[in-house]
Structure 1
Amino acid sequence: MTRGNQRELARAKNMKKQQEQAKKKAAADKGSNKGQGLEARKQRDADIMREKQAKKAAAKAETGAKGATGGK
Structure 2
Amino acid sequence: GSRASALISRTLFLNGGTVTIRGTKAHTGTPQCQRCWKWGHTTGTCRHPAIRCPICSGPHTGANHRSIAGCC
User: Higher strand fraction: Structure 1 or Structure 2?
Assistant: 2
User: Higher helix fraction: Structure 1 or Structure 2?
Assistant: 1
State the TM-score bracket (shorter-chain normalisation): under 0.3
* TM-score calculated relative to the size of structure 1: 0.22
Comparing both chains, which one has the higher relative contact order based on Cα–Cα distances under 8 Å and sequence gaps of 6 or more?
A: 2
Which has the higher Rg, Structure 1 or Structure 2?
1
